[in-house]
Amino acid sequence: MNDQELLEWYERATGFHKKRAPGLLIAAAIIDSCSLRLGAVKDRLNAVCESVSCLTDVIMLMTGCTIGNRYLTIHGDIGRFALTLFDRADGRGVRAFIDLDRISPDETPELYRFFYRTRSAEVKAGGEARLKSGEQVIKEFLTVRDKVIGLQNVQVERFGKHNKPGAARCSQCGESFLQKNGANRCSICSGEFSYYRRID
């Protein structure tokens, strides 16, 4: 993918993510490199994202591996800005990340500050300064893109179709829910889990 195409993905990603962030363009670039190295797959393309971040959204947008279709697994606790794309047929995959050793503070100073979280207080505060810095980060990243994206060939340990629980009707609320361990009530009705209070 050339820079122009990447910038187009950046605009689409900004629309989806609802925030303009240079990480979206960097995400698009590492996904593109990863996918190029992996090549054609025999079964479905699946993805693993190692953080809950803008990268997660760009994976969904660009690859069609989503949370809803379960082709995307998120291991958010790892917290790395990295992903693996793999073939569901055999677990053959490629992992992509940013190689910090290859980011030079002299050659690409703003990109360096972005990744080492040392951008100025003014930039961190947001507003115009942040937007300007973001544009600079992107400009610098595009000049060193191929150099700083790290790729590893990997074998994914757990692959294949997910066993999706079957749906049943909750005996208490009457709503359809995904049944686990033969339970006849959903986790809200059984009191096992809670996230809201009824106020009507």
Applying CB under 5 A, the span of 21-29, 148-156, 160-168, 178-186 interacting with Zn ion comes to 178-186
CA dihedral 174, 175, 180, 182 (to 10 degrees): 20
Using rule CB under 5 A, residue 170 touches Zn ion? yes
**149-181 core/surface letters (b: 16 or more CB in 10 A; e: else):** bbbeeeebeebeeeeeeeebebeeeeeebebee
Asked if 173 is part of the footprint of Zn ion (rule: CB under 5 A), the reply reads yes
Of 100 and 173, the one with the shorter C-beta distance to Zn ion is: 173
The count of other CB atoms within 10 Å of the CB of residue 59 is 27
Report how far residue 196's alpha carbon sits from residue 200's, in angstroms, rounded to the nearest whole number. Answer: 12
Q: How far apart are the first and last CA of the chain?
A: 52
Per rule CB under 5 A, count of chain residues that contact Zn ion: 5
Task: Check residue 190 for interaction with Zn ion (CB under 5 A).
Answer: no
Q: Which stretch binds Zn ion (CB under 5 A): 41-49, 76-84, 154-162, 167-175?
A: 167-175
Residue 184, interface with Zn ion (CB under 5 A)? no
Indicate the pairing of strand 176-178 with strand 83-87. Answer: unpaired
Q: Which residues contact 157 (CB under 8 A, 6 or more apart)?
A: 91
Cβ distance to Zn ion smaller for residue 21 or 168? 168
Helix axes 22-38, 54-63, angle to 10 degrees: 50
Q: Which is nearer to Zn ion, 80 or 185 (CB)?
A: 185
Does 176 contact Zn ion by CB under 5 A? no
CB of 181 to Zn ion, least distance (A): 15
**Is residue 58 at the binding interface for Zn ion, with CB under 5 A as the rule?**
no
Interaction of residue 189 with Zn ion, rule CB under 5 A: yes
From the list 111-119, 133-141, 155-163, 185-193, the region that binds Zn ion by CB under 5 A is 185-193
Q: With binding defined as CB under 5 A, does residue 60 bind Zn ion?
A: no
DSSP state of 53: S
Q: Which of 172, 178, 180, 192 binds Zn ion (CB under 5 A)?
A: 172
Residues of this chain that bind Zn ion (CB under 5 A): 170, 172-173, 186, 189
